[in-house]
Copies of this chain bind each other. A is one copy, B any other.
């Protein structure tokens, strides 16, 4: 059975909320309560879970620990994921320094840049390699996920190279509408787009008369 992207994208949200509850010692939760915390309807949550199994107990709710385990298994969060970063400029270095990936099992194991001034630098214990070596490096030591933080004009080229190395999930920070072949997953981090999506409403509301 085909599960919608929208459903899949909500699962990590649920997992995060459950991890919070778990760390606070909570052991049972209802779809209602979970939904209130996440701005999602209780019915939505129950339906989403129902695609994967029956994890709750009628009259009681869900066991937090058990449900969290299930979600982590479903999402593949119970293992380490190896990532390669391409582009080690300002943005790339901020990504390298970001402390939020590790605890969630995401580890950057290679970093590339094409600027001779950057190559050889050691950031957070990782030595920056020349982008020219990307294909050779990733073919001998594959990664699961690619992170693209190069200027817009080079992003598609880099993405194509990653795909050639068998990377089938890419997190792209460059502001372009990237193309990837079927079977390759792509997510976009694009703050400007997010801002522009909001100014539409500000514009409308800011004119009271």
Residues of B within 8 A of A37 (CB): 177
Given A77-B196, A104-B196, A197-B187, check contact A177 B17 (CB 8 Å). Answer: yes
Question: Range of interface residues on chain A?
Answer: 35 or more
Bound together, the chains give a CA A145 to CA B194 distance in angstroms of 12
Most buried by B among A8, A104, A198: A198
**Copies, count:** 2
Flag A86-109 by CB within 8 Å of B: 1 or 0 each: 000011001101111100101000
Taken together as a complex, chains A and B put the C-alpha atoms of A37 and B156 apart, in Å, by: 12
Distance of A76 from chain B, by nearest CB (Å): 3
A75 with B39: in contact, given A183-B205, A205-B183 (CB under 8 Å)? Answer: no
Do the beta carbons of A13 and B177 come within 8 Å of each other?
yes
Which of B75, B77, B199 contacts A169, CB < 8 Å? B199
Find chain B residues with CB under 8 A from A203 CB: 74-76
**A126 at interface (Cβ–Cβ under 8 A)?**
no
Q: B90 near A94 (CB under 8 angstroms)?
A: yes
Tell me, yes or no, whether A117 is within 8 Å of chain B by CB. Answer: no
Known A90-B94, A192-B101; judge A187-B198 contact (CB<8 A).
Answer: yes
**List of B residues within 8 angstroms of A97 by Cβ:** 90
Bound state CA distance, A199 and B17, in angstroms? 18
Chain A residues with a Cβ under 8 A of chain B: 5, 8-9, 11-13, 15-17, 37-39, 74-77, 81, 90-91, 94-95, 97-101, 104, 106, 144-145, 168-169, 171, 175, 177, 179, 183, 185, 187-189, 191-203, 205
Can you list 14 A-B pairs, Cβ within 8 angstroms, ordered by A?
A: A5-B197, A8-B197, A11-B200, A16-B177, A38-B177, A75-B200, A95-B191, A144-B202, A145-B195, A145-B198, A168-B201, A171-B194, A183-B205, A189-B191
